Amino acid sequence: MNVGAHVSISGSRVSSDTETPPYDDIRNAVCRQVAFGGNCGQIFTTSPQVWAQPEISEEAALGFREETAVKLEGPWVIHSSYLVNLCTPKDDLRAKSLSSLQAELDAAEKLGIPYVNTHLGAHTGAGVEGGLDNAASAVDELDVPESVTILIESDAGSGTKLGGEFAHLAEIIDRTDTEIGVCIDTAHTLVAGNDLTTPEAVDETVSRFDDIVGLEHLEYIHLNDSKHDVGTHKDEHAHLGEGYIGEDGMAAIINHPDLRDLPFALETPTEDGRGFAWNIQKAKELREEGQD
């Protein structure tokens, strides 16, 4: 099972090698992932709350690639800045979004990471059609390295944000000339109005996704339970099996024949004395139970 967490790259160097002096480095992500019990996962290359460019030395990039190859099994994905808005009708925000996303694509190539994940953003008055057109044309302005694929993440669908409906994901794929993929967030999918609480509901939702978007475009899954119910459009993640998706829904997702071989990255909370390690272990237990 390819499962891991969204880990931080910040702070002193994390290593079991006591002879290695501490330093701040993107290689921290690999050791942290291993410590949590993960074998793939997600990172920010810089703060997601500000317009900042990733700063990665050649030495750090080489070390990250080498340690990933030795210690992990599944692929990394970079999550773009939360400020990126591909749907915006505002020229200045569009320019900043493109610059930020291009930097992440270049960083992914440098790090040997095959995916950069981003939200479509909000159309803020441009309308759904206008927002989708804006996003598609923005994607086509990017210089995407051959080794990297842009993933559009499903959204909770609040306000004028796009990506909450499967049709939005299908439309952006159709409207761009760039080969892009999709990342489904299970918590977002639930609160956007798609039932994932039982095996039957998961089957129906996966089938509908396949009909509208196509499973061939699904490359990654953000595996999160939700603190809010179907159709609420409230984005707040819960520990696996302890939210509104619940153990039955989570087990059905993790073991679904069309989903089980995809990489899963957790964005679950750290609370109640539990964090990523607990949730990764829970995911593995639900996989094992599904094989009984």
The values of phi and psi at residue 267, to 5°, are -125, 35
- Residues with Cβ within 8 Å of 246's Cβ and at least 6 positions away in sequence, in order, are 197, 225
Q: Within a 13 Å sphere around the CA of 281, how many CA atoms are in the beta-carbon half?
A: 7
The total number of structural domains in the chain stands at 1
CATH of the domain at 20: 3.20.20.150
Q: What is the residue type of 14? A: V
Q: What does 103-138 look like in DSSP terms, one character per residue? A: HHHHHHHHHT--EEEE---B-TTSHHHHHHHHHHHH
CA 128 to chain centroid, in Å, comes to 23
pTM: 0.94
CA distance 35 to 14: 10
Q: What is the residue type of 257? A: P
* Angle formed at CA 154 by CA 152 and CA 155, multiple of 5 degrees: 120
Residue by residue, pLDDT tens for the chain (292 residues) are: 999 999 999 865 555 443 444 445 899 999 999 999 999 999 999 999 999 999 898 999 999 999 999 999 989 999 999 999 999 999 999 999 999 999 999 999 999 999 999 999 999 999 999 999 999 999 999 999 999 999 999 999 999 999 999 999 999 999 999 999 999 999 999 999 999 999 999 999 999 999 999 999 999 999 999 999 999 999 999 999 999 999 999 999 999 999 999 999 999 999 999 999 999 999 999 998 877 6
* Exposed/middle/buried for residue 267 (C-beta within 10 Å: 0-12, 13-18, 19+): middle
CA distance 61 to 194: 39
Written as six digits, the tokens of 219 are: 């490359």
- Residue 287 near residue 241 (C-beta atoms within 8 A): no
Tell me which residue range forms the domain holding 94: 3-291
CA distance 194 to 196: 6
